[in-house]
Homo-oligomer: A and B are copies of this chain.
Amino acid sequence: MTVTTPQGFRASGVAAGLKASGNDDVAVVVNDGPAAAVAGVFTANRVKAAPVLWSQQVVRGGVVRAVVLNSGGANACTGTLGFQDTHATAEHVAAGLAIGAGEVAVCSTGLIGERLPMDKLLPGVTAALEGLAADGGDAAARAIMTTDTRPKSTVVDGGGWTVGGMAKGAGMLAPAMATMLCVLTTDAVADARTLDVALRAATRLTFDRVDSDGCMSTNDTVLLLASGASGVSPSTHELTEAVTAACRDLCEQLVDDAEGATKKVAIEVTSAASDDDAVEVGRSIARNNLVKTALFGNDPNWGRILAAVGTTAAAFDPDELDVAVNGVWVCRSGSAAEDRSKVDLSGRDVTVRVALHAGTATATIWTNDLSHGYVHENSAYST
């Protein structure tokens, strides 16, 4: 179980016919309370999908009792009519649950630029509402998949209360605020302000540090719903820890299942002058296609890593940079050190460590290699 593991939540997933494959494509998550607090973070992309524009308004109200999600279409770049489709979807959920449309968040994912087939979506939403169940989390996680090869769910035990979550990812995976679609639930007692603090702290260290392919989505949404059903009020710190752990687990699953990836890469930047410097350097390496293709080729090409570091504004002296690949320090003080043939890149997990020798800050960015599979999958997606 996942989003329905915490008390007070029901969920479901059904096939509405939005996907050509016939797989499930509509999910609903309902918060039965007693509370209905919410927080959300959304894509920093300025081209925002209709459901993002809608859900940002809804979350601002601080109360969300239901989230409706669809795969098979992003409802992005669809203009006023697309926004009306999102509104109509929320109204449809609200009518079925006898709540207000302003308490219904909407998330969509899939191809950009096409209207959703409302004649299929709304009957699907009706079916999803009818199928709501206290063990429906797995079905919901499955219904939001696009090119994901498996559903992503998580549960973190807070001690008398729980955080659950589900996410979809795979492509266009480089959030600047949040990434992809993710719904987190908790039965902790917490108001919207506390949830917001916990969620922003968590996403800053997790989703914001995933950079699979450098491409920021129009639809990224992370929602955190609290039912209060456990009756337990954790401290903000405790809640933040649990939400961060849930987000971290989902991020690992996202990077592990990224489109076409053959490597799951952790880029650890150490001895940076600031957190921002460490993140900038890590992201620059993560986005460098020559580094990514080298990793695909099992090539510990530290020269390309240094070239990527050199494009940043971070504090460092080029003659002091150290680089280790899977524990072998192939570069010390900006020049060749240990023999690159000692590096074993045959496994799926890769760790690149870069020491800047400019301070004490550290950050880890998670990314993937750039493979033939990525090119294939993304050159054939819409055609």
Contacts and interface: CB of A to CB of B under 8 A. Distances in A.
Contacts of A375: 293, 296, 370-372, 374-375
Contact of A47 (B45, B74, B171, B307): B307
Contacts of A290: 171-172, 213, 215, 378
B172 A307 contact: yes
B214 A287 contact: yes
B46 A304 contact: no
Contact of A336 (B114, B308, B309): B114
B336 A77 contact: yes
A311 B45 contact: yes
Interface in A23-41: none
Interface string A365-383: 0000011101110111111
Contacts of A306: 47, 76-77, 112-113, 218
A378 B216 CA distance: 24
Interface in A56-92: 74, 76-79, 82
A48 interface: yes
A217 interface: yes
Contacts of A304: 112, 172, 215
A294 B382 contact: yes
Contacts of A176: 311
A215 B370 CA distance: 14
Interface residues on A, range: 35 or more
Given A375-B293, A378-B289, A113 B331 contact: yes
Contacts of A288: 214-215
Q: How many copies are assembled?
A: 2
Interface string A284-327: 00011110011011110111101111111000101101000000
A273 interface: no
A289 B334 contact: no
Nearest to A379: B297
A111 interface: yes
Contacts of A171: 290
Contacts of A379: 293-294, 296-297, 299
B215 A289 contact: yes
B374 A293 contact: yes
29 contacts: A45-B307, A45-B310, A47-B321, A74-B303, A77-B302, A77-B306, A82-B335, A112-B306, A112-B307, A113-B306, A113-B331, A171-B290, A172-B307, A214-B288, A215-B288, A215-B289, A215-B290, A216-B307, A218-B303, A218-B310, A289-B289, A289-B374, A293-B374, A293-B375, A293-B378, A293-B379, A297-B379, A299-B379, A301-B381
Given A218-B307, A293-B375, 6 more contacts: A46-B309, A46-B312, A48-B310, A113-B331, A216-B307, A374-B375
